[in-house]
Every structure is written in C-alpha cells, then in structure tokens.
Amino acid sequence: MNRRIALRHLALISGGLAFIPSCDFSSDDILTAYENLKITQSQKQLLGDISNVIIPAGEIKGALEIEVPDFILVMVDDCLTSEQQTLFTIGLTAFPEYAKNTGNENFSGLSNKEKETVILSGQKLEGDETEEGATNKAISYFLNTTKRFTIQGYMASEYIQSEIMPYSLIPGAYNGSVLISDIQKPRING
C-alpha cells in the first residue's frame, strides 16, 4: 500500500475522532426547511398532535396521515407577516406549558378528550397588557391559526380531492331530471 494514501487516511480518521467530542447530538435541531421560522422537530411533532386532534383519523385518513403539519408550517412561513410569524412561534413555544398547567400533564400524555378540551379552552384565551396576557394572546392566535390551516390543508390535499370528493375542473353536463338520491359523490369546485 502506498504510504501517502495510508498517512492521508490516518490524518482524516484522527481529525474525525478529534471532532466527535465537540458534537452535541442530544440537542433539538432547528429545521432548515423554513426561511423565517425557527421550528424544532419536537415543536413540529406537537403541531402534528394538535392537528390530529382537530381532524382525527377514522374511516378516512386524519390530518397527521396526510402530513398537514408540513402544510401549516409552509403557510405560516410563506403567507403570514413577520409579526404574525412571531406571535405564532411564541404561542407554539408557550403551548406545552399551558397544556401542562391546564391538563395537569404533558400534552402528549393526555387523552383525546382532554387534548380537545385544552385546545378549545386555549382558543378562547384573551390577552391584555400584562406579560401573561400577551402569552395568552399568542397561544390563542397559534391555536386558531393552526385550526384554520389544518382544515385548509386537509380539504386541499390530494387524498381528499381525488378519493373522497373528486375534483372536477369542468362541471358535468346539465341534466335537469336527475333525482338527488341518484347522485353518487359530491363534486366540489365545479
């Protein structure tokens, strides 16, 4: 074997071993897919839990199975102003503590009915000029925005538009003598 190649490999391995102790693999990294948001993986998972409570899986797929949390984060990142994004992020950060205080347990440990109660009570929070009031306003804004984008993303998903309520770009021919009982699937958007 060539000595130069062996020395190069030895230097690369030594450099890599020296670099490993400085790496912290336990931290919750910020997702880089979003330009304006600083969202961690655990926050995205919390957002998925909330959207799954809003539209749970049953006979048809739920919001989490259609990956609605990704849609929510893209909409917040692209469509909201920087003030709204800040309010959303503050609410997302403060929600776990609010859920723990309201439900006496972490949000993921609550039953579905308790999660629903925490979300509904959080949507009705009102803010004032105090620090706690500003946090309550942010939580309410976060939950209401999440609900709005969950419903929008779910209804606009490929699954709903192709399998549940087929989308028709051009409406069918007019037939005035069709009974309502003869109609098979509702067609939205046309």
Is residue 11 in some structural domain? no
Write down the pLDDT at residue 123.
93
pLDDT in tens, 92-149: 999 999 999 988 889 989 999 999 999 999 999 988 889 999 999 999 999 999 999 9
Domain of residue 85, residue span: 44-182
Is residue 5 in some structural domain? no
The helix/strand/coil state of 40 is strand
Higher pLDDT, 84 or 2: 84
Is residue 8 in some structural domain? no
The pairs formed by 104-113 with CB atoms below 8 angstroms and a separation of 24 or more are 107/46, 107/49, 107/50, 108/46, 108/49, 112/53, 112/56
Is residue 101 in some structural domain? yes
Write down the pLDDT at residue 190.
46
- Residue 58 to residue 88: CA distance in whole angstroms: 29
pTM, entire model: 0.74
pLDDT in tens, 137-178: 999 999 999 999 999 999 999 998 888 887 777 766 777 787
pLDDT in tens, 37-83: 888 899 999 999 999 999 999 999 999 999 999 999 999 999 999 99
Q: Which parts of 36-130 fold into alpha helices (H)? A: 41-54, 68-79, 82-103, 112-123
Q: Name the domain count of the chain.
A: 1
- Other CB atoms closer than 10 Å to residue 123's CB: what's the count? 15
